[in-house]
Amino acid sequence: MKTRRLFLGVAGFTLVVGLATVGWFSRDQLGRWLKAGVPVAAIEKPAAPIAEAKVLKLSPQARKNLGLVAKAAKPQTYWRTIQVPGAIVDRPGRSDRGVTAPAVGAVVQVHAFPGDTVKPGDRLFTLRLFSEYLQNTQSELFKATRETQLVKEQKARLADAAKSGAIPESRIIELDNQLRRQGAAISAYRQDLLTRGLNPEQIDAVTEGKFVSTIEVAAPPPVAAEKRIPDSQQTAFQLIDDRGEGLAYEVQELNVDLGQQVQAGQLLSVLANHQSLYLEGHAFKQEAPFLEQAARNGWPIQVEFAEDDHEHWPALDQSFRVRHLANSIDPASRTFDFFVPLANQSRGYEKDGQTFVVWRFRPGQRVRLHVPVEELKEVLVLPSAAVVREGPEAYVFQQNGDLFNRINVHVLHEDRLNVVLANDGSVTPGLYLAQNAAASLNRVLKAQAASGISADVHVHADGTVHATR
């Protein structure tokens, strides 16, 4: 009995193994038999490839939400530039003027304080003179004037005697020489007092014996360069100069206190006139050839002013060109400087009977300078937000009503503000292109394609897009 059960188990196992072996080696034939018995309609067809979406549709409300702006594409000339950081600085010898003490004395009165606006010739300080040299000069001027009067009187008395031969003619000649010497001395003394700050009226008083014990320190007269103010800048000066003199200073620093004793040549205050400034750029050595080329050819430079309130100021109608390049490199930053002249704008306001001035550009304000490097002709220029990238591909969107057609383009150059496209026929000049929100339009296009919603449009060979009727 046990032998029989053992035989049946071995036979069953051998049968199962045999059937499995036959099924493995005839699997292809079995598949064909099974497929032949299935209806043709029941066989699943492979999925058709999804066509790439190129057109999207936006409602007027969506265009307003995106703030879309479309402009016609026009070929133009574009200058490829390099961006260089910089700052606004004072122009040495033109922006700031130091006022010094003409003689030893004490400050007894201050007439202008920081922030005040003064004109050339306005009083700044009153000094009580302690200068022994200045007192001696006044004494010598008075003595020379009196001596001249005495010589003239003596000459007048001896004139008749000389004509009659009572005295020799040489005596009159000697008096004339003495008058010339005294006249030269008087001219020297008067000039010395003028340079010390005395005005002609005070010097005339000294010749009469009224010595000056106090002196007024006034704002200096303009230099020759400051007198040549461009016509385009006259309006700015008239706003702060009601007398039409064309120049005004602002007291920038006050370097002495009331009652302080000062020495001759000591700095009393600093006056500023920020009409003429410099744009100081900081470039690396490898950028020197580009800057040298721009300076030599006189190419205009584009300037971006940081923190500039351009809405409340007149349009800045001036061109910026490199004046000169520094020939030394800063050891800390490893950059060299170059300088671009800047004509500032100003306006004034009245308060408590005084005029105060406000400048549009101030020293220390940051700028970004775009130095021209290469001229690109017959290209299409769009804002950077008008182009979207996907890997090596770049796209723009052509608008036709509610429809937007995505177009492949070739980018020649791009910077922080603009993108330059090749005029290779991919974009027909005259077509309206979206100037912003290209990335948003691309996302909407993908969303519409993924949802399976068709824009119901067709595209013509010239690139125009129309709805399918």
CA quadruple 11, 14, 15, 16: dihedral sign = positive
CATH says 84-93+271-373 is which class?
A: mainly beta
Beta-carbon contacts of residue 418 (< 8 Å; ≥ 6 apart): 78, 381, 382, 383, 384
CATH architecture of 55-77+376-467: Beta Barrel (2.40)
Tokens of 175: 């008096």
pLDDT tens per residue, range 110-141 = 999 998 888 888 999 999 888 788 888 888 88
* C-alpha distance from residue 46 to each of 33, 43, 49, 96, 227 (Å): 22, 10, 9, 82, 86
pLDDT band (50, 70, 90) for residue 266: very high
Q: What is the pLDDT of residue 354?
A: 80
C-alpha span between 159 and 151 (Å, rounded): 12
Domain ranges of the chain: 2-42, 55-77+376-467, 84-93+271-373, 105-270
pLDDT band (50, 70, 90) for residue 363: very high
Amino acid symbol at 399: Q
CB distance 397 to 434 below 8 Å: yes
pLDDT exceeds cutoff 70 at 362 = yes
Which of 295-299, 336-340, 447-451 is the least confident region?
Answer: 447-451
Q: How large is the average pLDDT for residues 16-39?
A: 57
Q: What is the pLDDT of residue 157?
A: 80
pLDDT tens per residue, range 191-239 = 888 887 778 888 888 888 888 888 888 898 876 544 444 444 433 333 3
Q: What is the pLDDT of residue 124?
A: 94
Angle between helices 132-164 and 200-207 (to 10 degrees): 60
CA-based Rg of the chain, rounded to a whole angstrom?
45
pLDDT exceeds cutoff 50 at 240 = no
Q: How large is the average pLDDT for residues 132-154?
A: 86
> What would the DSSP string read from start to end of 306-333?
TT--GGGS------B---EE-SS--TTT
Report the percent of the chain where pLDDT is more than 70: 79
pLDDT band (50, 70, 90) for residue 18: low
CB distance 411 to 423 below 8 Å: no
